[in-house]
Structure formats: structure tokens, C-alpha cells
Amino acid sequence: MTESKIHGTTILSVRHGGRVAVGGDGQVTVGNTVMKADARKVRPIGEGGKVLVGFAGAAADALTLLDRFEMKLGEHQGQVLRAAVELAKDWRMDRALRRLEAMLAVVDEEHSLVLSGSGEIIEPEDGIIGIGSGGAFASSAAKALVRHAKNLSAEEIVREALKIAAETCIYTNERIIVADLASTRPPPAARPDRS
């Protein structure tokens, strides 16, 4: 019997209007069966909950990655970038870590990072992160909303973009959890209109 692939996570983070928000849907799917509709995949961590994390991938792997990152965050006094770099260094030495099929979206007031189970750290220039099964759908919708719906907050953009992803991705549902923080990072420079 072959192992069923676990799907069913869409995590989105948006930095907009002096805030950063992270949201996720609640669906967990094994094969073609929805196993859970209300999973909580977005959590505050660190001292005072000043870091938000959303996780995607195989559940055990994602929770292992989250635990390791939280441990590094504690060791480095809440410095998100330093904790991420130290976690990436561990990948080079730990065979079990290198095999994790998971990703984290990690944000604080200054940084938006993607941490992967293969040891990569990515900081998108526009402050928009989409990971998981519907990540590309959600991040595309968020980019459009940031450009054209200037009156929406970061939290509203995350909610709306995740709803759009749920209309497109069969592994994403509309049971959305969103958390947000104040952001000190300035917004990215406007991109030229490509029309």
C-alpha cells in the first residue's frame, strides 16, 4: 500500500498599510478525502506572540519544523532572521531535518520569511507570501488586491485572497483564521504598470 499524500493547506501573509497579517484555511486532505475542515495552521509564537507563523505540508513535518524554529527563536532572543539562519545551518548537519516536507511563513514587525524543509530562507521583496496547495492562487489574488484595493487593510486582503484561493483550489476551504501585527517595514516601491 502506498502512502497517501497529505494536501490541504493554504497560508498567506501580506504586509500592507503599516500592518502584517498571516492567514490560513482549515482544510486537511488525505488523498481525495477531507479529514478535517477547521485545523489551526496560524499561530503566534515567541515572547508576547510578536512572531506569527503559518505552516504547510505534512502535519508531523510542519509541526517539527515549527518546534525547531520556535526553539531557535528562544535561543536568539526573538530575533527572527537570526533564528531562521541558525535553523538553516542545522539542516546541513541533521539528516532528519533535510527530509521534512513542510514550509513555514514567518513574520514579525520587520521580516517576512519563507522557511522550507529543504533549508531555504526566502524573503519576498513585496512582503507577500503564499505557501501550500493554494499558495500561488492566494498570493496572486493578494498582489492584485494590494495594487488595486488600496483602502483594504492587510487582514482584509488576506481574508479576501484566501476566499479567492478557496474558489479555485480544491485543497482550500473558507474556514479562515487570520492574525496580524504592526509593521515597521516600509512598503515596497511601486512597480511600473505593465499595461
pLDDT of 52-74, one tens digit each? 999 988 888 888 888 989 999 99
Please say if the pLDDT value at position 6 is more than 50. no
If you average pLDDT over residues 153-159, what whole number do you get? Answer: 97
- pLDDT at residue 96 in the model: 65
- pLDDT of amino acid 189: 55
116-136 confidence digits (pLDDT tens): 877 789 999 999 999 999 999
Round the average pLDDT of the chain to a whole number and report it.
87
Q: Give the number of C-alpha atoms closer than 13 A to the C-alpha of residue 144, restricted to the C-beta side.
A: 10
The H or E element that residue 71 is part of is: helix 59-75
Give yes or no for residue 182 having a pLDDT over 90.
Answer: no
- CA distances (Å), origin 138, targets 5, 84, 86, 167, 179: 21, 24, 29, 10, 16
Q: Which residue has the higher pLDDT, 152 or 98?
A: 152
**Active site (annotated) includes residue 2:** no
> Which residue is catalytic, options 9, 10, 29, 172?
9
- pLDDT for 84: 94
Kindly tell me the burial class for residue 90, based on how many C-beta atoms sit within 10 Å of its own C-beta (0-12, 13-18, 19 or more): middle
- Among the CATH numbers 3.50.40.10, 1.10.1200.10, 3.60.20.10, 1.20.1070.10, which is that of 9-182? 3.60.20.10
5: amino acid identity, one letter: K
171 pLDDT more than 70 = yes
Quick one: pLDDT at residue 5?
Answer: 47
